[in-house]
Homo-oligomer: A and B are copies of this chain.
Amino acid sequence: MPVFQLIGVDADDTLWHNERLYADAQARLAELLAEYHSPEWVNDRLYQTEMRNLEHFGYGIKAFALSMIETAIQLTEGRISGRELQSLIDLAREMLAADVELLEHVGNTVAHLAGRYPLMVITKGDLRDQELKVARSGLAPHFRHVEILSEKSRESYSILLERHGVPPDRFLMVGNSLRSDILPVLELGARAAYIPHGLTWTHESAEPPPVGRAGYYELEHFGQLPALLERLESEKAE
């Protein structure tokens, strides 16, 4: 019997590029407001607006678009034009329609792992947007399940594993966010492989667990997953 009964995989910036869409959008917002404020100040205020709106708007591109619009209005004291605000809505539509570009090694590795383990996408954000990205990614046939959560917390992972009948010690989560993919999973007593991504939203960053913490692994890229799993399976066999 393999050690792992289920492998959970985060989607945005673990399977495919995502944060760069937000970074590009932020750059366009900063450009729009260039005559009013510095890019640093715009980014800072946008982040504060996003955090204030998180409780009601949640994650995802629609929430981000509303926060961009609100920031633009506030930072210009309402002087921003309708046409400029329309460009922010158009930007949100472009983001939602953007091509899904897989990260390096992902295509082959996912196909390889799917032959050995049931795989589950575990992501958060807009329901429809995430479903469309899974469909457009071409990876859907390799994933047994797709779970879209409103928040990735110790509790939501616990409910998810219980629903699928998977004990935490037989679950491995893979992702690029310490806050969402790694720390809550380790707290549960499951294992987690952290694959850092160059761009990570401030809200998702956290202190990494100490090196050598039980169940915590850090990889450089997605292609290193099969070797990690082989090692963990053979350790158990010894």
Q: Which residues of A come within 8 Å of B, CB atoms?
A: 53, 56-59, 62-63, 65-66, 69-70, 72-74, 76-83, 85-86, 89, 92-93, 96-97, 126-129, 131, 148-151
Contact = CB atoms under 8 A, between A and B. Distances in A.
Contacts of A56: 92-93, 96-97
Identify the interface centre among A69, A92, A151: most chain B CB within 10 Å of its CB: A69
Nearest to A77: B82
As for how many copies of this chain the complex holds, the number is 2
Nearest to A84: B78
User: A-side binding surface: helix, strand, loop or mixed?
Assistant: helix
Given A79-B82, A82-B85, 4 more contacts: A58-B128, A66-B89, A78-B86, A127-B148
A58 B89 CA distance: 14
Given A127-B127, A131-B150, A89 B69 contact: yes
B62 A57 contact: yes
9 contacts: A56-B96, A58-B129, A62-B63, A70-B89, A72-B82, A73-B86, A74-B86, A79-B82, A131-B150
Contacts of A78: 81-83, 86
